[in-house]
Chain A
Amino acid sequence: MAEPFQLTDEMKAAIGKANDPVTYEVTTQGIRLFARAVGYRNPLYFDETYAKSKGHPTLAAPPGYFGVQVWDPRRGNAGPRRMYESPFSRNLNGGTEVEPIKHAYAGDTLTAVTSLADLQGAVGRLGPMLIQTTETVYTNQNGEVVAKTRGTGISY
């Protein structure tokens, strides 16, 4: 069996660091499309009049929905800044944790700051691999934290 992947000095130095903030837009159409895909039936996520009747300012976002990144062809699929060079090209989504704190609403602009919580070199069925754990904090335009997420990514 192959040896576990050894972290580079650049990788070790990146642990604990925050990446650049990313802007997400939460819109009525985005909320409805997400809620439809996931199969929600609650009108809180579809009907603004209903949402207001329940004391909300407008359509609420279902738990785990933070809108989508603003698409701009000048940036394309650039994504967040690469925090370290990696020899691996293939990635698997290893898992997700969501801690909803407040509702996000249609019209919100969320700022997401992702920190590299941990990096581990390992070896598995797919050979040497790198396990990346990130933590993201989503803050709305009023400075309120709406959610925290934790993600695990596996590169091999």
Chain B
Amino acid sequence: MTTEWNPTQTYWDDIEVGHEISMTEETSSQRLVIWAGASYDFYQIHYDDNFAKNNNLPDIIVHGALKGMFVGKLLDEFAGENGWIKRWAVSYRGMDPARDALTVWGKVTRKYEEGGEALLDLDVGVAQPGGTQTTPGTATVRLPKR
């Protein structure tokens, strides 16, 4: 599969409070292994079925840090080439069993200018297919003005 990269820049002027962004992320065992290699997090509950079951888990689970970085990617693509993520923070409140598709989302809660920057605050999170929220957080993104 190949993907083209032709993003359009989002401008601060065009975004209002309540604006929502989201993407869906698959969490196959293969992907978790790629993340383990990338992050040097080799804890076996993330890729070894027997190890996970022996730790009273129903299945291997998604790395918390990977969920945090899914949120970072959502914000990075929203900010675009001329925007910047000022900060983002997430809490890991619950485990996500692997293999499900997770919804990574953001919703603008505040639009303001500060220190010469055009900023948006967002609530962010990761939701399981059944709607359970495991990874609540907040973020601030700078966007260019028209």
Contact = CB atoms under 8 A, between A and B. Distances in A.
Interface residues of B, number: 33
B92 A33 contact: no
Nearest to A69: B40
A33 B89 contact: no
A149 to B, nearest CB: 10
B66 interface: yes
B61 to A, nearest CB: 11
Given A39-B25, A62-B76, A68 B40 contact: yes
A126 interface: no
B97 interface: no
B72 A95 contact: no
Contacts of B85: 63, 98, 100
Interface residues of A, number: 30
Interface of B: 3, 5, 7, 25, 31, 34-35, 37-40, 64-66, 68-70, 72-73, 75-77, 81, 84-92, 137
Interface in A18-60: 30, 33-34, 36-43, 54
21 contacts: A33-B34, A33-B37, A34-B38, A36-B38, A37-B31, A37-B66, A39-B70, A41-B5, A42-B76, A54-B81, A62-B69, A68-B39, A92-B92, A93-B65, A93-B92, A94-B91, A95-B64, A95-B91, A96-B89, A97-B89, A98-B89
A68 B40 CA distance: 7
Residue picked from B35, B76, B81, most chain A C-beta under 10 Å: B76
Nearest to B136: A95
Interface of A: 30, 33-34, 36-43, 54, 62-65, 68-69, 71, 92-100, 150, 152
Given A54-B81, A93-B64, 6 more contacts: A34-B39, A37-B66, A38-B73, A40-B73, A41-B5, A64-B72
A63 B72 contact: yes
A62 B72 contact: yes
Contacts of B38: 30, 33-34, 36-37
A43 B5 contact: yes
A43 B7 CA distance: 11
Contacts of A36: 34, 38
A38 B31 CA distance: 9
Contacts of A62: 69, 72-73, 76
Given A95-B90, A95-B92, A42 B77 contact: yes
